[in-house]
Structure 1
Amino acid sequence: MNKYSRNQRVTGITKILTENPNKTINLKKFTELFNAAKSTISEDIVIVRETLSMLAMGRVETVAGAAGGVKYICGVSQEESRIFAEEVCEILSHKDRLIPGNFISMTDIMYNPEIVHKAGVILASAFNELHIDYVVTVETKGIPLAFEVAKMLGVQLVIVRRDPKVTEGSTVSINYASGSTNRIQTMSLTRNSIKKGSKCIFIDDFMKAGGTARGIINLLKEFESELLGIGVFIENIESGHKLVEEYVSIIQFKGISPEGKSKLNPSEIFEKA
């Protein structure tokens, strides 16, 4: 069998851990893969752990027990998060982003793999300690972001429909009031999507008044499940009162300037950076 240098082992271990966030990997996998003793692999993992910690790129935790091992927990520094938010604010503040009705054109942003990945890591890092079962989102623009968050937390993504699909079988539907217009809308979820008693977070691309988030809370109650957190890419603070009290956002939208530009800035969570 091949023999690997320490540099090669450390590189391989880092890749495996970071590509499987929040998943416990038994040391036996590494000893067999690299044809190395358990003590050697343990020393390699210490190097990986210390390096990721120094670079504020997450952490490696040890899981005790017969079925234990190590797992990678995603992370990002406050400074890097703030810089990322400022860069996105700059992109979205261009005049050509404004469309009739004072909306911001952001579809290309929400489907940009690099941007969505970074935003996903930031939001996932905020919910690392909740030990959730599912990430929930509403179709359609928030799906890429919610997928990234689910991937970084190592859990399944659940997509709530605006309209039920016949091909998805039996569904649970509720009516809810939009927080901004108070218009009655509908959301649906297939009965086999979530197990009873599950703990979830809700991820979306934009929050105006929080009506959709409030609807998600009520929908999850139909599954005897609980919403533990809410994360959004952009929140509209110009709209004033929100129907939900606790949530995490990356960017704040503060309306339109007299020059016809969107007023955006990094969320308050970055003020301590």
Structure 2
Amino acid sequence: MCGDNVSKFSRNNRISAITKILMDNPNKVINLNTFTEMLKVAKSTISEDVVMVRQTLALLEMGRVETVSGASGGIKYIVNIGQEETERFIEELCAAMSDSSRIIPGNYIYMSDIMYNPEIINKAGIILASRFIDANPDYVVTVETKGIPLAYEVAKKLGIQLVIVRRHNNNFTEGPIVTINYVSGTSGRIQNMSLPKRALKKASRCIFIDDFMKAGGTTLGIIDLLKEFESELVGIGVLVDNVDTPKKLVSKYISLVEFSGIDDGNQVKVSPAKLYKR
């Protein structure tokens, strides 16, 4: 629909367009003039449409629409997901992970199909992003592992930039790089991680997203690395927490699934994590 017809959008058409634009740009302030110019209607009409969008998303527990006042204000969409849908998703994820065919030599669990499944990672990203929105982070930080797709989805839902920390300083095309050593919480070995100086602004608020947490040594390394940028870690989120690890080096993190090893019957022991109790 274009040309002279753009002024003939029905209310349903307008609400569909407004909803899509908001949900495609989470946590971004969109001025109402954007909609009035696009849909060729008065601001009062758009305001009425926004009320309906806000009410519908709230009723369906699909997020909320906030009003931002001021000359550069407007409205923005904040991701959210209902508790019932969250619990159903995590139960389904546990069922998929508990399949004994996932066990590979060395008692490792095959996870690539889960970590690279867009539907799973999108939903997990919404759940984690909704838990960190009030922390007002500037960046999502992760390391170059299977957790990158999940971290990307969280960053997308929060409307902020993703920063990927390298485990080895082997890229000479990114300028000066900050490198630190840290001790692996599982093996006790000294490892290193690095990040280009241009990747992160000083005094930033960051959240760390990863696919799997064992003891938390990598997280401590991230905390130390952020200190080099005079920045702080304000949240930690992981898909799977290995609760079979006797001693954690970090606390106050959010996980979706708890892994507690493999039993004598060759079954993977997983259960929903206590999302609201960490």
Short-chain TM bin: over 0.9
Comparing both chains, which one has the higher relative contact order based on Cα–Cα distances under 8 Å and sequence gaps of 6 or more? 1
1:215 to 208, 213, 221: 221
Secondary structure of the 2:230 match is: coil
TM-score by length of 1: 0.97
**Correspondence for 1:259:** 265
Q: Percent identity over the alignment?
A: 61
Q: How does 1:233-272 map to 2 (within 5 A)?
A: 233-269=239-275
**Correspondence for 2:67:** 62
**Correspondence for 1:232:** 238
**Correspondence for 1:35:** 40
Following superposition, the deviation at residue 270 of structure 1 comes to: 6.3
1:8 to 9, 13, 27: 13
- The C-alpha deviation readout for 1:8-32, integer Å capped at 9, x for no partner, is 0000000000000000000000001
**Residue pair 1:17, 1:72 contacting (<8 A) in 2 also:** yes
**Correspondence for 1:183:** 189
**Correspondence for 1:142:** 147
In structure 1, C-alpha distance between the alignment counterparts of 2:224 and 2:238, rounded to whole Å: 18
In structure 2, C-alpha distance between the alignment counterparts of 1:172 and 1:102, rounded to whole Å: 35
Following superposition, the deviation at residue 261 of structure 1 comes to: 1.2
**Correspondence for 2:133:** 128
1:196 to 192, 202, 208: 202
Misfit runs of 4+, over 6 Å: none
In structure 2, C-alpha distance between the alignment counterparts of 1:11 and 1:240, rounded to whole Å: 50
Letter in 1 for 2:253: Y
Q: Report whether the alignment pairs 1:166 with 2:172.
A: yes
In structure 2, C-alpha distance between the alignment counterparts of 1:192 and 1:118, rounded to whole Å: 31
TM-score by length of 2: 0.96
Secondary structure of the 2:275 match is: helix
- The C-alpha deviation readout for 1:211-251, integer Å capped at 9, x for no partner, is 10110000000000000000000000010221111100010
User: What residue ranges of structure 2 are gaps of 5+ in the alignment?
Assistant: none
**Paired residue total:** 271
In structure 2, C-alpha distance between the alignment counterparts of 1:234 and 1:81, rounded to whole Å: 15
1:78 to 61, 74, 83: 83
**Residue pair 1:253, 1:264 contacting (<8 A) in 2 also:** yes
- The C-alpha deviation readout for 1:122-169, integer Å capped at 9, x for no partner, is 000000101111000000211100000000000000000011111222
- The C-alpha deviation readout for 1:186-213, integer Å capped at 9, x for no partner, is 1000011001100000000000010101
Following superposition, the deviation at residue 66 of structure 1 comes to: 0.7
In structure 1, C-alpha distance between the alignment counterparts of 2:250 and 2:149, rounded to whole Å: 23
Secondary structure of the 1:166 match is: coil
- The C-alpha deviation readout for 1:248-270, integer Å capped at 9, x for no partner, is 00100011122101100111126
Letter in 2 for 1:247: Y
**Residue pair 1:198, 1:226 contacting (<8 A) in 2 also:** yes
Q: How does 1:16-27 map to 2 (within 5 A)?
A: 16-27=21-32
In structure 2, C-alpha distance between the alignment counterparts of 1:89 and 1:257, rounded to whole Å: 15
**Residue pair 1:93, 1:262 contacting (<8 A) in 2 also:** yes
- The C-alpha deviation readout for 1:87-144, integer Å capped at 9, x for no partner, is 1111111111011222110011101110000000000000010111100000021110
In structure 2, C-alpha distance between the alignment counterparts of 1:99 and 1:34, rounded to whole Å: 55
2:157 to 152, 158, 170: 152
In structure 2, C-alpha distance between the alignment counterparts of 1:186 and 1:108, rounded to whole Å: 28
